[in-house]
Amino acid sequence: MSSFIEQELKARGVSQVIVLVRDVPDSPAVRRSREVPVGLADAARLRGGMADVAGYFIRSELSLTGQLLSGCALPVGTRRPAAVPTARFYPHLGVMLGTVDREGLAALRHDRRVEDVVGAPPLRLIRPRRIAAARRPKGYEWGLRALGVPALHREGLTGKGVLVGHLDTGADGRHPALRGAIRHFAEFDDLGRERRPAPRPYDTDTHGTHTAATIAGRKVRGTLVGAAPGARLASAIVIEGGDVVARVLGGMDWAVGLGVRVVSMSLGFPGYWPDFLALTRLLRRRGVLPVFAVGNEGPGTSRSPGNYVEALSVGACGRDRTVPRFSSSQRFRRAKDAIVPDLVAPGVGVVSARPGGGWQAMDGTSMATPHVAGLAALLMEAAPKKTADEIEQALFDSCRLGPHMTEDRAHRGLPSGPRALRLLR
């Protein structure tokens, strides 16, 4: 059993769990839905007895949903929902999320339609270690030059035709660097429900605008901060606060349903918790490259899912090609990818867009992660028939350790866009 589930059951008598189902319903109603609320009224929408599986979940005042409904004041003008589904089904991922007691958990584990049951540790945003005002860079931002992005742009590559998932605090679509960059936008509220109709792209913080522009920021008066200025973003507000797991699952399911090729996530749970391993494997099986920040807690630490073999985990480096103290790194007892992060990318003094206009400099592995997602988009445009695994391997093989980098801190080192392109060709 997941140690997180056991811990929750001992402490509160109930636990939120993620259920991987073996046979995903394929009715037209389910295919059209991004998140199907499961309950008696919705049972007819599920096939193969999945409504029976939903019956293992319970409503509880001790659950996270129950606590959110009873203990949180709603924004002015917002009505309290009359009913919240006992469980949610995410059709593009093939998973369910809900609350169980020990009896329900045992029933799930013995049901042949259930592949696995894992815990739902609360994910957290990997916040920058430093935020400072900055002037608009002249020409290419330094991180793009460090990765060799200008050379790929000279080849005519901009990420055109590639949809990149961006799950963060949102993004300010009115910023000059992001005008035309956001193809799809969604907001998932504290209970994990998608707000409809979708709002105009905005940022609940400053983090998401910064990371979004690093991926796909357009040129502004000669300044370029985006690695893939021709790519389009599927950007969603999934963090912070509320039922973060429901929000992130909603965002992942939404992005996969839209056909993203790569997804950038600067979030995670401190330490190694295998509960989200199945989700990263699901993304891989659906042809999506999952790019995660490894964390900002320094040597000997990492975050899940950024420390999984199945994730492309990213640490930070500075202009001098050294790994800053804050960048997480850790060695594991496993045969494959025993060291995380997989590689490092520019994450110190990175200048990108600020909500409301203007520019900000930030430090963190959250800043390094969108650099790699944007670079992957360029390679996907260049080699559209290559799989996510092949794109990742080209990035890995292009890496070099700097003179002041060690394997324990940087693993493979800093990737090179031009080298990766040659390897793919």
Pairing of β 339-340 and β 330-331: antiparallel
Distance CA 107, CA 120 (A): 18
Contact 20, 89 (CB under 8 A): no
Q: What's the alpha-carbon Rg for the chain, to the nearest Å?
A: 21
Which one from 63, 92, 168, 313 is the annotated catalytic residue? Answer: 168
Active site residue 168: yes
Cα torsion 333, 336, 338, 341 to 10°: value is: -150
Residue 6 corresponds to which tokens in the numbers above? 């056991």
Which one from 153, 166, 184, 207 is the annotated catalytic residue? Answer: 207
> Which positions ≥6 away from 146 have C-beta within 8 Å?
317, 319, 321, 345, 346, 414
Distance CA 248, CA 290 (A): 13
Residue 112 corresponds to which tokens in the numbers above? 């042949």
Active site residue 320: no
Which one from 15, 63, 352, 366 is the annotated catalytic residue? Answer: 366
Active site residue 207: yes
How far, rounded to the nearest angstrom, does the alpha carbon of residue 154 sit from its chain's CA centroid? 30
Contact 407, 339 (CB under 8 A): yes
Distance CA 194, CA 205 (A): 19
Enzyme catalytic residues: 168, 207, 366
